[in-house]
Amino acid sequence: MKYIDEYRDSGKALEYLNAIRRITRHDWTIMEICGGQTHSIVKYGIDELIPKEINLIHGPGCPVCVTPIEKIDKAIEIASNPDVIFCSFGDMLRVPGTKSDLLKVKAKGFDVRIAYSPVDAVNIAKQNPEKEVVFFAVGFETTAPPNAQAVYLAHKQNLKNFSILVSHVLVPPAIEAILDSKNNRVQSFLAAGHVCTVMGYKEYEQIVRKYKIPIVVTGFEPLDILQGIYMCIAQLEENRYEIENQYARVVTREGNIKAQEIMKEIFEICDNKWRGIGEIENSGLKLKKKYSEYDAELKFGVINYYVEESKECISGLILQGLKKPLDCPVFGTKCTPENPLGATMVSSEGACSAYYLYKDKKLVNKE
Amino acid sequence: MTKEKNTFDNFSCPLPFSETDTITIAHGGGGKVMNKLIENMFMHYLSNDIINEKHDGAIFNIGDQKFAFTTDSYVINPVFFPGGNIGELAVYGTVNDLSMCGAKPLYLSLGLIIEEGFHLKDLEKIIQSIKFACEKSGVQVITGDTKVVEKNKGDGIFINTAGIGIIRDDINISPSYVKPGDKILVSGDLGRHGIAIMSARENLEFESNIISDCAPLNGIVQKLIDANIEIHCLRDLTRGGLASALNEISTQAGVEIEIEENSIKVDEQVRGICEILGFDPLYVANEGRFTAFVKQKDSEKALGILKSKESGKDAAIIGTVSNKSKTGIVTLKSIFGANRILDMLSGEQLPRIC
């Protein structure tokens, strides 16, 4: 397949692995931000092929994993309403709230639909004027522009029966929170390529300067990741700290200006809670006052929710890279994709799910 | 930047909740959730020597004659899809389950559950397809049943077929005959049916010319049998795809299976759509593909036979049964040479966010 196979070429991968081996002299810890990258790393066995000196830890960049449990509970409450058509990206349906998940709400007969684009949900609202249509607007900077576009379209068409349940998070504040933590071990980051497609990488320049840490904007195919690792190691070994762009075929410094404009039109920055991590200042997006009539939380009065989460699962430590899935005592036994204790096991991009799918269970049990 | 430097030290995590007390779509998804239901409920109450074999069909003797018997229900949406419709599917699906037992399929039953308001013209198209499919696979419908349910109590039309076939006395095809050293073949490229259905669904605006691979497999299986290939196990790669079929066989046979990613063929367009949706083609359904476990010495000859058909041009030897194993395990050697586990899916594959 064009533009994909080139980045999965095993001969070139071998060349990169050799190049990484040649330049690696010290122990280094690199965090890949995005769950899509984690998935590629484990699927292609990259973590087993790179030199032992390099420790890859899996960051919080999976929107499914970090959506707070309160939002899931709110989604479940809104969706359990006979007058509502609740639309969501597919992999949010399995995420456990406190007592249930959206798949179970659907099984009870409520109208829960998988939407492939938020704009589809706007069209559903147009076709079903007697129903309230709610879209579960989750994700990082990558999905924020299409979600903003949906609100913009609904506003333009004066649709009164459309709203969104917003749970948007931003990458740079999370990176800073990780670096500010006293337990931080991360020495370099592979930044999430698709987030940077939208936002560019200029907002990372001050992080690089402030924390003196190399960041490489990296894609998702195995060769992208190997090249990204190579670029991180080269900087670390040469004692440089710069923002570099491995994913130059898609990402520019300025990013997608149009996408940023529509985001700015609809959303504003707010403090946000991350599942398994806690509140991070200025790390989320909410609807501007001008568009508050599209805020599903206000429309359905689901506002003051607070849930005390169990401490059994270590996904919080995994999301900040302090532990790996195999360190968890209940991994693969009490906690499986069929009966997930934590969001990192539910989402197809979650680190636990990737380990469960691709790693040898014998190894798991031994650990 | 953060109010408190130790934000992360006070992490919390979601509460576990117990397993579901109602049926969800995942219970029919062909993955682990469905297998658990089969084990814990159906096998718990209905266990007997024949069903315990867990084959695509039941194999048993009446007098000196060995028979295969199977049943399957078809609930596909949309009813008409690129490359076929529910009628053909209901014939081929059951014919193929019998073929996977090494049987010559003979007779089918046909049960229809039709929703009030379903167009007679559409029903006629479906029945015509059933006639065509029966002729193509050399079987006859010899008994049937029709029920109509009220509007909104069905999804257009549901079809159930059961089928019966005869097996030559000296043929023993079942997971329990799989042995270390066996070669594993796949009869063609993967994922066409599942992706043809996905792209025909109204909310996905994919322009593709992928058509379902739905086809009868009894002809090609008969060719393998006639050529005296020592076949140990056959399985069609329907719901759950190749990955689920191999996992089922490895568990039932108690063996380790090793396959090579490089050897498995997937059409460019199928791969493209899978990439967009975040699906793995190894888990996508097929309706005219199967895997064959054969004795090593016969594997090249078997491959030649599979490749002799147009639909089998991408047939390949994809792996080997390596060892005995109590629990069964399937490993896949990635294109980079690293080994990973090819596990069963939990439930359905769900399109991902980004």
Reading chain B (354 residues) residue by residue, the pLDDT tens digits are 333 344 444 333 332 333 567 888 878 877 778 888 898 899 999 999 999 888 889 999 999 999 999 999 999 988 999 999 999 999 999 999 999 999 999 999 999 999 999 999 999 999 999 999 999 999 999 999 999 999 999 999 999 999 999 999 999 999 999 999 999 999 999 999 999 988 887 667 677 789 999 999 999 999 999 999 999 999 999 989 999 999 999 999 999 999 999 999 999 999 998 988 888 999 999 999 999 999 999 999 999 999 998 889 999 999 999 988 888 899 999 888 888 889 887 666 766 665
**Cross-chain residue pair A311–B268, CB shorter than 8 Å:** no
Task: Look at B346 and A179; give whichever has higher pLDDT.
Answer: A179
Q: Could you tell me the pLDDT band of residue A2, with boundaries at 50, 70 and 90?
A: confident
**Cross-chain residue pair B32–A338, CB shorter than 8 Å:** yes
Quote the tokens at residue A104.
């179970």
Decide which of 3.30.420.480, 3.40.470.10, 3.90.650.10, 3.30.70.1730 is the CATH code for B175-341: 3.90.650.10
Closest Cα in chain A to B243: A357
Instruction: Say if B55-167 and B175-341 have the same CATH topology.
Output: no
A225 CA: distance to closest CA in chain B (Å) = 13
Q: Could you tell me the pLDDT band of residue A365, with boundaries at 50, 70 and 90?
A: very low
CA B277 to chain CA centroid, Å, is: 20
Nearest to B322 by CA among B178, B132, B151: B178
The answer to whether the beta carbons of residues A124 and A133 sit under 8 Å apart is yes
Asked if residue A173 has a cis previous peptide bond (ω within 30° of 0), the answer is no
Q: Could you tell me the pLDDT band of residue A34, with boundaries at 50, 70 and 90?
A: very high
Distance CA A23, CA A238 (A): 10
Instruction: Please report, for chain B, the start and end positions of each structural domain, with discontinuous segments joined by +.
Output: 55-167, 175-341
**Which chain A positions have a beta carbon within 8 Å of B244's beta carbon?**
none
Number of Cβ within 10 Å of residue A300's Cβ equals: 17
Residue A307, CB half-sphere, CA atoms under 13 Å: how many? 24
| A343 vs B: CB within 8 A | yes
Task: Look at A95 and B285; give whichever has higher pLDDT.
Answer: B285
Q: Quote the mean pLDDT of chain A.
A: 91
Q: Where are the beta strands (DSSP E) in chain A?
A: 28-34, 54-61, 84-88, 111-114, 132-139, 162-169, 188-192, 215-218, 243-245, 267-274, 278-287
pLDDT of residue A362 exceeding 50? no
Nearest to B22 among A107, A320, A335 (CB): A107
User: Which residue reads 């059961």 in tokens?
Assistant: B162
Interhelix angle for A222-237 vs A10-23, to 10°? 10
- What does DSSP say about strands B84-85 and B183-186: parallel, antiparallel, or unpaired? unpaired
> Residue A311 has what pLDDT?
65
| A358 vs B: CB within 8 A | yes
Which residue ranges form the domains of chain A, and what is each CATH number? 5-60+182-245 (3.40.50.11750), 65-170+255-299 (3.40.50.11740), 323-366 (no CATH)
The pLDDT of A272-292, averaged and rounded, is: 92
**Cross-chain residue pair A107–B338, CB shorter than 8 Å:** no
Please provide the size of chain B in residues.
354
Q: Name the CATH superfamily for B55-167.
A: PurM-like, N-terminal domain (3.30.1330.10)
Kindly state the helix (H) or strand (E) to which residue A122 belongs, with its residue range: helix A118-127
The model's pLDDT over A207-250, given as tens digits with 9 standing for 90+, comes to: 999 999 999 999 999 999 999 999 999 999 999 999 999 999 99
B95 CA: distance to closest CA in chain A (Å) = 32
Beta bridge partners of B112: B146, B159
DSSP character string of A51-69 = -TTEEEEEEEE-HHHHS-H
> Residue B352 has what pLDDT?
67
pLDDT of residue A367 exceeding 60? no
Nearest to B111 by CA among B135, B94, B133, B136: B94
Cα angle A175, A179, A184; round to 5: 125
**Cross-chain residue pair B335–A337, CB shorter than 8 Å:** no
